[in-house]
Amino acid sequence: MKTYSETEGKKFFDWNQFLENPPLFSSEKHLDACDLSCEWVTCACGNLCDIIPRNRIGAPKDYHLEKLGMMFHQFIDDGEWQKAKETLAKIEKRSEEIIFQLTK
């Protein structure tokens, strides 16, 4: 399966790897991550399977997943790395539930 970001012509970004060794707050890498996390195509939700239903701007149609994606972006913006990591785990879990429902 492809990620949504790949189907939209964007490079996959490994958020788990990024959060294993996060950059200094306000560094160039941090600011780049802020840019990636604020776009639905490249955020944590965009790097999930492309079969997850999305609206016309790329946000997940699932309310819970959309809210988690917005929280993730805020934590990346604020440099709250541990909270971002925990939210990413919740995003992955919710996406698994959605994919399971779509493929059963």
End-to-end CA distance of the chain: give it in Å, rounded: 16
CA angle 82, 86, 92 (to 5 degrees): 140
The SS3 of residue 15 is helix
pTM greater than 0.75: yes
Q: For residue 51, with 0-12 CB atoms within 10 Å meaning exposed, 13-18 middle and 19 or more buried, which class applies?
A: middle
Q: Would you give per-residue pLDDT tens digits along the chain (104 residues)?
A: 789 999 999 988 999 999 999 999 999 999 999 999 999 999 999 999 999 999 999 999 999 999 999 999 999 999 999 999 999 999 999 999 999 999 98
